[in-house]
Amino acid sequence: MYYCAYCGSFFYPNSMLEDYKVILASKSPRRRQLLDGLNIPFEVVIHEVDEVFPEGLSMEEIPVYLAKLKAEPFAEEISHDALIITADTIVWVDDMVLGKPLDYEHATAMLRQLSGKKHIVATGVCLTTKSKQVSFCDTAEVYFKELTDSEIKYYLDNYRPYDKAGSYGVQEWIGYIAITKIEGSYFNVMGLPVQRLYEELQKF
């Protein structure tokens, strides 16, 4: 039986991971919440990296590259029983990538670009142990209604989504009033495709 410090509960872990100490390398509270939902005990360890990727990568290659990049600082310190989970999420619209906004004006421009369109949310996940590394990308199509300037202003003034790709959080107010349809994993749009992650963890 294990105790999870994050969720504050005791439970029997899935035997697929009983030989590993799981480490989530993310400061995102949403990813912590989603991983906690799998009832896997984990701890959070963060190493800051410059989230820069080379030109010429495809939509699905970008978040996978960044997820692998976030795993690199652990190379020298990873123990034999550790499993590191890193992830990165991008928004793809008009054949271009939207990352996190730089400021209020940038966030406003992003939301205007998403207004009334379909965009793709792509999350890359990297699983790293001492002996191997597995990565994958999961995508979801998200449809926005036309946003008014007042709706954009209200959202940015009250939620300040500067830590979110595309300048929005699907679980926040704007997700309630703007998203008309999602094709794919809702949790992927939040930042971690937990169903696909569960499938990959089973293979360990």
Q: Which residues are catalytic?
A: 88
Count of H-run helices and E-run strands, the chain: 7, 9
Give the tokens for residue 170: 């699907």
> CB-hemisphere CA count at 13 Å for 61?
6
Amino acid code (one letter) for 105: E
Sign of CA dihedral 120, 87, 135, 203: negative
CB contact at 8 A, 24 and 5:
no
Contact call for residues 200 and 127 (beta carbons, < 8 A): yes
Cβ–Cβ under 8 Å, residues 86 and 97: no
Do 146 and 177 touch, CB atoms closer than 8 A? no
Cβ(91)–Cβ(135) below 8 Å: no
**Hey, what are 65's tokens?**
């590259």
Backbone φ and ψ for 76, nearest 5 degrees, come out as -80, -20
Q: Which two tokens stand for residue 129?
A: 């142990």
